[in-house]
Homo-oligomer: A and B are copies of this chain.
Amino acid sequence: MSRPLKIAAAQLGPIAREETRTEVVARCLKLMEEAHALGVELIAFPELALTTFFPRWYFEDQADIDSFFETEMPSAETQSLFDAAKKYQMGFYLGYAELVKEGDTTRHFNTTIIVDKTGEIVGKYRKVHLPGHSEYEDWRPFQHLERRYFESGDLGFQTFDAFGGKMGMCICNDRRWPETYRVLGLRDAELVMIGYNTPVHYPQAPEHDHLQDFHNELVMQAGAYQNGMWIVGVAKAGKEEGCDLIGGSCIIDPTGQIVAQAKTLEDELVFFEADLDRCDEIRKNVFNFQRYREPENYTPITEPKKS
């Protein structure tokens, strides 16, 4: 082990609609305390980790929507996470709904941050691949209105120098798209953190419901292997407000193998001591990008969509 990093996925069980941010943060702090006992240096929380997964409902009143968003980070309710980072010398990845005021306009993003061991925000990402739909659809048993409540992220897929390596982030549906991993890989990401809220039930193709765990693992394992990177996938899991969410939070090594995985659908810590140098096993061999990629053959991938 030449660049060891003790990492953890902090899976969260369901968050009820009436649960306050303070109550959720207390659950997160408990997982950080547990992680500290293991010497964890970097802990990852899920997508939209501070509230219930609100895009499952259609709200008419913008104030109702905005109540799920953070206007500052840290906030009064989340400051204790930053304090714990400093106290435990443990960085974190956290997902939340971000409301940005720009003059008279407000913008809404599905956002994650990386906070370092000193409690400083050192990286931000805004979800690019928004799934679901933008209008109310009455045939659905629950809505998936991410395309109504968020705009697509404007920061691209960046990497950040932290924790002795190159860190990357993406969010939920981003993990299904191989371009996500590839752009991060081309930017030398060694560890990518991915929070998700994934319903078991996919109303458009319910015949695939039983494949949700398989697909979750398949895309993350392929992304890890094809780019020679560590991946931490972390779920909000369990039956949340009547909607079943998959679990399966896991840590994947650069060969694509799952080396640690959640066993429950509840608050649960998944731990592994990673070696960031292991990325070289892949990146210097089978996926030596500089030697083996053939970008002149890839041009359709970046062509604009037909309007």
Stretch at the interface among A49-57, A88-96, A210-218: A210-218
Stretch at the interface among A15-23, A103-111, A171-179: A171-179
What 1/0 flags go to A263-307 for Cβ under 8 Å of B?
000000000000000000110111101101111111111111110
A187 proximal to B (CB < 8 A): yes
A221 proximal to B (CB < 8 A): yes
CA gap between A157 and B295 in the complex, in Å? 12
Stretch at the interface among A33-41, A68-76, A201-209, A235-243: A201-209
- For residue A244, give the distance in angstroms from its CB to the closest CB of chain B: 17
- For residue A161, give the distance in angstroms from its CB to the closest CB of chain B: 18
B131 contacts A292, CB within 8 Å? yes
User: Contacts A222-B219, A226-B176: A205 and B285 contacting too (C-beta < 8 A)?
Assistant: yes
Contacts of A290 in B (CB 8 A): 305-306
A182 proximal to B (CB < 8 A): yes
Tell me if A's interface is mostly helix, strand, loop or mixed.
helix
- For residue A151, give the distance in angstroms from its CB to the closest CB of chain B: 12
B286 contacts A176, CB within 8 Å? yes
A128, A285, A289, A294: which has the most chain B beta carbons within 10 Å? Answer: A294
- 27 A-B pairs with CB atoms under 8 Å apart are A128-B297, A129-B292, A130-B292, A152-B294, A177-B293, A178-B181, A178-B182, A179-B293, A179-B297, A179-B298, A183-B300, A183-B301, A202-B285, A204-B286, A205-B281, A205-B282, A208-B255, A215-B225, A215-B256, A218-B218, A218-B225, A218-B256, A219-B222, A219-B225, A221-B222, A295-B302, A295-B305
